Amino acid sequence: MYNFFVRCLLAILLVACTGVEASYLDASRIVRVGLTKLGTPQSFTIEPSTGFIELFNKSKNQAVYSGKAATVVVSIFQGGKIKVAIDNRKSLYYESSELLFSPLGKNPLNLKIKAGGKKSFAYRGTISVIPDKGGLLAVNLVDIEDYLKSVVPSEISTRSPDAAQEAQAIAARTYAIRNLFRHGQGKYQVCDTVHCQVYPGIVKEIAAASRAVKRTEGQILSFSGSPANTVYHSNCGGYLISSKAAWSGTEIKYLSSHFDGISGQEPFCSYGIRFRKNQPTGKLPAPAKDLIAKPLPWNTRKLHHKNFGHRVGMCQDGAIGMGAIGYSARQILAFYYPGTRIETLNYAVPGIKPHIETEKPLVVAMKPAVSSTPLEGPFNPTQISTLTRNSRTNRGKSSLLETLKSISNAKSGSAATGIRKMFWTPAQPGLSRQRNIL
Ligand SMILES: [Zn+2]
Ligand SMILES: [Zn+2]
């Protein structure tokens, strides 16, 4: 009887899966960023830019307040309850749960948030407040393109040529999409520090970086059907080293060791430093010429100048140098991640309807079942992804039943969408995604 039941379920799944291929290109454009720099204080003060706010109780799945609010104080109350005080005139109490705060009205729409008497920061999107470690944790639910408007100028010099900023935008977008499960099944997907990518919110935004984000909307780098591991660093010193030399583990084809430039010329990063210091960058051969990353033994060359960072993947000063000389973002990325290609996430492709952000509550990509086997080499807390391999052996009958349960519990979207979300994972290049779940 049990076997018969399982066989029926398998048949239903097979039908539901027909024609549905899991793809990282379906990623939601809403990303949950843990505002870990704010800590986990006893209370937050939130101010909507418009003077109007909507409060949504995610645990109960209902809007609980919508109206005027200059200042909202969210604090931990007796018995672990959350107290929400609106302009000192209205107090609301909730059992331990997740509360979403969204500004209402016309642009500019953002929320300022501060912990206790500390400095406040402004964020686009929605702020979620969740009880954590005896205090409160703030998570920003933000459109990934808005997230990048803050990440790009935080990660690369704001004076960089346009091409370097565009290359940085694509690398940072890819990095985010690939690392959506870096913090496990936790309360957020990526954090706001160098552990993931630096994200201080609106304060850091500049027009040039926002334009670079817009011009590259939805673009990521892929390799062998997965988002590439687009690690980057400040300055390689003239020679890039391979990911294997830096962190051991499996060899990654596009993260090889090679000279950062054209043979017989100064490395691109020397030009980048000169550009940043307002010195003439000199002349190099025409941009499209001789741009081949030739492999080199990583430890046999003397550095040309002081290096900063792990020296794997894109050298940011090198990208600035290439941009200053006249190379495009595509050429910069082809040089630092050879063999990768640009793909566009489905939300940015005209004619493809995003299936996520129109409904409430805001839904983010679901985490697939994972085993605890580390994906590659020793863990490097600052750069290497902690994604774990989806083990075939981890998918037995019980996980299948759990899967079906979660699909039938999914509040929005069809079963097929549920399955697609459930089984998508940004895997390591070379590892196949879970196309086949049985
Ligand atoms: Zn992180
Ligand atoms: Zn370099």
| Burial category of 144 from C-beta neighbours within 10 Å (exposed 0-12, middle 13-18, buried 19 and up) | buried
Same structural domain, 73 and 218: no
Residue 68 included in any domain: yes
Same domain, 127 and 153: no
Q: Give a yes or no: residue 118 inside a domain.
A: yes
**Whether residue 157 sits in one domain with residue 79:** no
pLDDT at 298: 64
Ligand nearest to the CA of 322: 2
Last residue of a domain, one of 132, 155, 183: 132
Confirm whether 367 is domain-assigned: no
Nearby residues of 269 by Cβ (< 8 Å), 6 or more positions away:
235, 236, 237, 238, 260, 261, 304, 305, 315, 317, 318, 321
Mean pLDDT by 10 residues, the chain (438 residues): 46 43 82 96 96 92 92 91 93 90 92 91 96 93 97 95 97 95 87 95 96 96 94 95 90 92 88 90 68 72 85 96 91 93 90 48 30 29 25 32 39 33 28 24
What pLDDT was estimated at residue 296?
76
Domain co-membership, 169 together with 314:
yes
- CA–centroid distance, residue 178 to ligand 1 (Å): 12
Q: Which ligand is nearest to the CA of 34?
A: 1
In this structure, what token pair is assigned to residue 205?
């935004």
- Is 45 among the domain residues? yes
Q: Which residues contact 371 (CB under 8 A, 6 or more apart)?
A: 388, 389, 390, 391, 393, 394
Rg of the chain, C-alpha, whole Å = 23
Using the mean position of ligand 1's atoms as its centre, give its distance from the Cα of residue 234 in Å: 19
Residues 103 and 239 in one domain: no
- 269 alpha carbon to ligand 2 midpoint, in Å? 4
Give the residue numbers spanning the domain of 45: 41-132
Q: What is the CA(337)–ligand 2 centre distance, in A?
A: 13
292 and 159 share a domain? Answer: yes
DSSP assigned state of 369: P
Q: How far is the CA of 38 from the centre of ligand 1 (A)?
A: 14
* Confidence at residue 181, expressed as pLDDT on a 0 to 100 scale: 87
Q: Tell me the sheet residues that pair with 186.
A: none
User: How far, in Å, from the CA of 385 to the mean position of ligand 1?
Assistant: 10
Instruction: Return the pLDDT at 363.
Output: 27
Taking the centre of ligand 1 as the mean of its atom positions, its distance from the CA of residue 193, in whole angstroms, is: 6
Instruction: For residue 309, give the ligand nearest its CA.
Output: 2
Q: Are 342 and 206 in the same domain?
A: yes
Residue 54 corresponds to which tokens in the numbers above? 């909507």
Confirm whether 408 is domain-assigned: no
Lateral strand order in the sheet of 82-86: 90-94, 82-86, 72-76, 43-48, 111-115, 121-123
Please give the distance, rounded to the nearest whole angstrom, from the Cα atom of residue 140 to the centre of ligand 1.
Answer: 14
Distance CA 97, CA 57 (A): 7
The Å distance, Cα 130 to ligand 2 centre, comes to 42
Rounded distance from Cα 39 to ligand 1 centre (Å): 14
Same domain for 322 and 275: yes
Q: Are residues 425 and 25 in contact, defined by beta-carbon separation less than 8 angstroms?
A: no
Let me know whether 186 and 265 are in one domain.
yes
Residues 128 and 154 placed together within one structural domain of the fold: no
Q: Which ligand is nearest to the CA of 33?
A: 1
Last residue of a domain, one of 346, 363, 393: 346
Q: Is residue 438 part of a domain?
A: no
Are residues 187 and 326 located together in one domain of the fold?
yes
Q: Is residue 3 part of a domain?
A: no
Ligand located closest to 385 CA = 1
Q: How far apart are alpha carbons 184 and 66 in whole angstroms? A: 33
Count of structural domains, the chain: 2
Asked if residue 286 and residue 225 are part of one domain, the reply reads yes
Tell me if 365 is assigned to some domain: no
- Tell me the ligand closest to 179's alpha carbon: 1
Distance 337 CA to ligand 1 centre (A): 23
